[in-house]
Amino acid sequence: MRYATVTERLAGLGGAKWEIHARARTMAAAGRDVIELTIGEPDVPTPPGLAEVAAAAMRAGRTGYSNGRGEPALVAALAARYAARRGRAISPRQVMCFPGTQTTLYAVLSALVEAGDEVLVGDPMYATYEGLVRVTGATMVPVPLRPDRGFRLDAADLAARITPRSRVVLLNTPHNPTGAVLGRDDLAAICAVAAAHDLWVVCDEVYEDLVFPGVVFASPLDLPEFADRVVVASSISKSHAAPGFRSGWCVGPESFCDRLLPLAETMLFGNQPFIADMTAAAVSAPSPVAADMAARLARRAGLIRDRLHGVAGLAVNRPQAGMFALLDVRATGLSGTAFAAQLLEVAGVAAMPGESFGAGLGGWLRLALTQDDARTAAACDRIAGFAAALRGAA
């Protein structure tokens, strides 16, 4: 039987990158004591008040068809939120709503690139980005994010990899998996390179509300001189501990959203009105959980650094935001994939190998900060013991 070539372009991506996570769940279901540090699941439930908004909307009959742009109340709420945060006018025509950031980015990239085009992406990168680019037929061009720069994208490194086929710079700040946060000067330099080469700048900002105390978030939307080429995407998954509700959006130029609308209508023809009502309530006020969550995540990042940095040759990259810390295991002589697989089987700690996030993170692990302090400390003790045993054996 024949298949579309997209199935070949995506072969080996998707679930294959999460093999350690799947294996850990199987082991835990069989009764093994496994400390799971693999995925960015918020460490608190969805705020009851927000869940009740969705439930009340369902009871009120808000279960009919929506439209391709998004429910008017939600679109208006998002426009008001971004106007207030970015300090300039944002119209409802600049907003499009989707089920989660992943779907948003799928639609945005599908509207901007196709076969023969190139998308520049920082390496390491979130595990799904390669698939998001490949599905369009475009080619992904990795741009190294160097540890000596705190894994922040350097405009000169970006410029060196631009070709006549380049069309989009895909950013992620705060960054998954590194926890790096691009400053306003970083973004201005990156956007200037994009403008010089007539490129779009697409920015995934899903961790905006989870910056750690003392860290300042910046967005390319803060820079009005580049507004005609910037599209940002986000959702309530992290900021409001609501990943299962699948509610996201993008903000960009009116002309871009007008072009995107037929694609959105073809894909989805709107998401659920009762979830839109909940999302409108969520984005119209400060998150009731984000600030405390960010403080806990920052504390656990510090705990991991205190317990593992310099132990048995390990090194910890302390993040500025988000749900993860990076552990450099290269001194053990193992790849991140091999270290993670053995760590799970021997010590019962599940962590994502850096190779799942690009070649630039080979020999690293990504550790989720979403277990409570006691379990995080116990995981560190197991990792330290495992690494020490490796060193002793060597």
Q: Classify each residue of 23-32 as buried b or exposed e, where b means 16 or more C-beta atoms within 10 Å of its C-beta.
A: bbeebeeeee
Omega cis (within 30) before 124:
yes
Is the pLDDT confidence value at 188 over 70?
Answer: yes
Residue 70: predicted pLDDT: 96
Distance CA 197, CA 163 (A): 9
Range 206-223 average pLDDT: 97
Residue 18: predicted pLDDT: 87
Backbone angles phi, psi at 168, to 5 degrees: -140, 140
Which part of the chain has CATH 3.40.640.10?
48-283
Which part of the chain has CATH 3.90.1150.10?
6-44+289-393
pTM, rounded to two decimals: 0.96
Burial class of residue 282, CB neighbours in 10 A (0-12, 13-18, 19+): buried
Other residues' Cβ atoms within 10 Å of the Cβ of residue 64: 9
Instruction: Convert the pLDDT of each residue in 43-64 to its tens digit.
Output: 999 999 999 999 999 999 999 9
Helix, strand, coil % over all residues of the chain, rounded to 5 = 50, 15, 35
Residue 260: predicted pLDDT: 97
Residue 393: predicted pLDDT: 73
Contacts of residue 283, defined as CB under 8 A and 6 or more positions apart, other chains included, come to 74, 77, 78, 81, 236
Question: What's the CATH number for 48-283?
Answer: 3.40.640.10
Range 353-365 average pLDDT: 95
Is the pLDDT confidence value at 394 over 70?
Answer: no
Q: How confident is the model at residue 66 (pLDDT cuts 50, 70, 90)?
A: very high
Torsion, CA 232, CA 235, CA 240, CA 245, rounded to 10: 180
Distance CA 17, CA 318 (A): 23
- Does domain 6-44+289-393 match CATH 3.30.43.10? no
Nearest-10 crossing angle of helices 100-112, 254-267: 110
Instruction: Convert the pLDDT of each residue in 124-178 to its tens digit.
Output: 999 999 999 999 999 999 999 999 999 999 999 999 999 999 999 999 999 999 9
Distance CA 306, CA 208 (A): 26
Range 234-239 average pLDDT: 98
In this prediction, what percent of the chain has a pLDDT beyond 90? 95
Q: How confident is the model at residue 253 (pLDDT cuts 50, 70, 90)?
A: very high
Structure tokens at 171: 């950013």
Q: How confident is the model at residue 210 (pLDDT cuts 50, 70, 90)?
A: very high
Strand ranges in the chain using DSSP code E only, listed in sequence order: 35-37, 95-98, 118-123, 139-144, 166-172, 200-204, 230-235, 248-251, 315-317, 324-328, 349-353, 364-368
